[in-house]
């Protein structure tokens, strides 16, 4: 959808740390995701976000498998005694890339900043598993949090869903699906530069479609792998912005970045939620790029990345009080 008056804009130039990072990437350019096979793109993402020498410590970490399909999750337990407020976290990567390892440091940071348990979902990836399979894997994890609440020491009065990029898309769809199915009661949805629409005609796509880490060509490639057909792109569980009714959804934190092709569709979703009577905190980092939720490991430990974690934690902590 085209936005006549974008609700989020870009600064005159990226934050100095981000500008330096983009300059380094330009000096040693890597192939685009869209030029590779899914396997090659997954290897590239692993290379882009290496494991830290010493991961940020948390109380405990458990790797589990859920349901008949054995959906893998990684559970981060904070210090202290339960029951714990809990965040179901869905990683980004265009539904094709990423896993619990690529977002390990992000989940550790959220765990410590919120004193909440984080359940990171290693959903099945596309194109091997197309829409809606990845979403159903995430829903399995969400239901498990409530079904095994006593065993896992979950405070079921304080459960949120969160995700970045395609994970933000899946988190938004989880909130819709839980409402429509009369499922688990979600207290907040945290959507970090989310994909919300199977469309590429926004001003932010025109402004930021190349040169800022995530390109328009990459997004077209991701969508082509995620969907069986363009008809699926009209399904609100794939494109939440196309949902006819957004009433009755949990309060939302929507984070967008000025130099991100997804900026305008994230802002549009925040606006539509507000119109539907949903409480929304929309934060736009006008000098930042897509992907900053993962830039937490040296030498890419960015100021804006830490601010994003702090903003997410502030809203989650306020929700859980």
Residues 6+ apart with CB under 8 A from 230: 198
Describe the chain by its helix, strand, coil percentages, rounded to 5.
40, 20, 40
Task: Give the strand order in the sheet containing 117-121.
Answer: 60-66, 71-77, 117-121, 84-90, 154-164, 188-192, 252-259, 280-289
Alpha-carbon gap, residue 40 to 70, rounded angstroms: 25
Among 104, 164, 260, 315, the active-site one is 260
In 3-state terms, what secondary structure has residue 98?
coil
Say if residues 273 and 302 touch (Cβ distance below 8 Å).
no
Q: Which of 99, 290, 305, 311 is catalytic?
A: 290
Dist CA 170 CA 158 (whole Å): 20
165 is known as an active-site residue: yes
197 given a catalytic annotation: no
Catalytic site residue from 126, 165, 215, 305: 165
Residue 284 CB-density burial (10 A; 0-12 exposed, 13-18 middle, 19+ buried): buried
**Residues 207, 308: Cα–Cα separation, whole Å:** 23
CB 243 within 8 A of CB 236: yes
Indicate the burial class of 31 (C-beta count within 10 angstroms; 0-12, 13-18, 19 or more).
exposed
**What DSSP designation does 82 have?**
S
What is the gyration radius of the CA atoms in the chain, in angstroms?
Answer: 18
Give yes or no: 290 in active site. Answer: yes
| Inter-residue contact 261 to 214 (CB < 8 Å) | yes
Which residues are marked as active site? 165, 260, 290
């Amino acid at each position: 959808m085209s936005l006549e008056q974008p609700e989020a804009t870009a600064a005159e130039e990226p934050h100095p740390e981000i500008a330096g990072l983009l300059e380094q990437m330009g000096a040693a350019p890597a192939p685009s995701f869209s030029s590779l096979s899914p396997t090659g793109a997954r290897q590239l993402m692993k290379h882009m976000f290496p494991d830290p020498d010493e991961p940020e410590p948390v109380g405990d970490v458990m790797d589990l498998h859920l349901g008949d399909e054995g959906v893998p999750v990684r559970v981060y337990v904070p210090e202290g005694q339960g029951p714990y407020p809990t965040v179901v976290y869905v990683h980004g990567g265009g539904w094709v890339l990423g896993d619990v390892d690529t977002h390990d440091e992000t989940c550790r940071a959220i765990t410590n900043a919120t004193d909440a348990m984080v359940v990171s979902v290693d959903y099945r990836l596309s194109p091997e598993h197309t829409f809606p399979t990845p979403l159903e894997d995430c829903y399995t994890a969400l239901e498990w949090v409530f079904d095994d609440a006593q065993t896992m020491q979950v405070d079921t009065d304080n459960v949120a869903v969160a995700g970045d990029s395609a994970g933000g898309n899946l988190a938004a769809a989880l909130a819709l699906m839980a409402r429509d199915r009369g499922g688990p009661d979600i207290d907040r949805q945290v959507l970090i530069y989310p994909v919300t629409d199977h469309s590429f005609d926004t001003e932010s796509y025109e402004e930021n479609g190349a040169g800022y880490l995530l390109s328009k060509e990459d997004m077209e490639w991701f969508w082509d792998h995620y969907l069986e057909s363009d008809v699926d792109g009209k399904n609100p569980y794939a494109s939440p912005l196309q949902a006819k009714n957004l009433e009755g959804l949990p309060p939302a934190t929507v984070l967008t970045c000025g130099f991100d092709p997804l900026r305008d569709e994230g802002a549009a979703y925040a606006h539509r939620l507000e119109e539907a009577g949903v409480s929304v905190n929309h934060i736009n980092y006008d000098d930042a790029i897509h992907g900053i939720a993962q830039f937490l490991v040296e030498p890419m430990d960015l100021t804006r990345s830490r601010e994003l974690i702090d903003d997410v934690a502030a809203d989650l902590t306020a929700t859980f009080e």
